[in-house]
Amino acid sequence: MSNEMERAIERLRTTKSLLVITGAGISAESGIPTFRGDDGLWQNYRAEELATPWAFERDPVTVWKWYDWRRGIIGKAEPNPGHHAIKRLEEMFPGLFLITQNVDGLHGRTGIKNIIEIHGNLWRVRCSRDGRTSMLMDVPLKSIPPRCECGELLRPDVVWFGESILSDVLQMSYNAMSLCDTLMVVGTSGVVYPVASFPENVKGNGGFVIEVNLEPTPITNVADVSLFGKSGDILPAIVEGIVRQQAKN
């Protein structure tokens, strides 16, 4: 076991309140393209060009088709060992909170309870006019994009660049952040706000930050421990490390 891994497990041994934040990297091993990786390209568009309200206004059909493409991949995907390890951590740390930036719904399929999908969920749709949400599967797909009963376009119920996160979702996230003594940040490039500011805030409150990523990110400068590798390998190893330590005591 590496020194960094030992330090992470030692910290978790005394952690009272654990917050986990995840990004696209945790779902990469389920076969879901990340945003800023080369596999995020779709028909020569970068994901960041499509995940905006302006793109939807200009060309709703293309944006909808991109989400259909992603739903096609996600619909066949399964939670991977990284997702399942976080569910096991929830059993070990009963107050655990998970904030995911992912809209794929894979964490929910592990049965995790305390989860905030801060950027929404692509299996839900929302009326562009009145904001009412429903499950995509309950909507008649007569056109692309489908329309609400009121006649307005339906859009994915996700948060695009330049849009505000719902205030109650943001409030819950800030509460979880201010209560935690350890933050584990997994598989995010750490460039999209507000989540990008969480590691620094936790450090400012005297907390400890553990990062899990394939490579260094802006969070690495703030993190107390950085574990480089696949989250599907590292997170189960953390769980096993905690179990071994508990068996010793």
- Using CB under 6 A, list all residues that contact ligand BJW: 23-25, 28-29, 34-37, 51, 101, 103, 119, 158-165, 187-189, 191-194, 212-215, 217, 230-231
Is 83 catalytic? The answer is: no
| Cα dihedral: 164, 170, 173, 174 (round 10) | 110
| Cα dihedral: 192, 65, 83, 218 (round 10) | -20
**Minimum Å distance from CB 15 to ligand BJW?**
21
72 or 162, CB closer to ligand BJW?
Answer: 162
CA angle 37, 100, 155 (to 5 degrees): 80
- Beta bridge pairs of residue 147: 153
Active-site residue, from 83, 84, 107, 119: 119
28 or 180, CB closer to ligand BJW?
Answer: 28
**Minimum Å distance from CB 229 to ligand BJW?**
7
Q: Which residue is nearest to ligand BJW (CB)?
A: 25
90 or 104, CB closer to ligand BJW?
Answer: 104
Strand 182-186 versus strand 208-213 pairing type: parallel
15 or 213, CB closer to ligand BJW?
Answer: 213
**Minimum Å distance from CB 29 to ligand BJW?**
5
**Minimum Å distance from CB 19 to ligand BJW?**
16
User: Active-site positions?
Assistant: 119
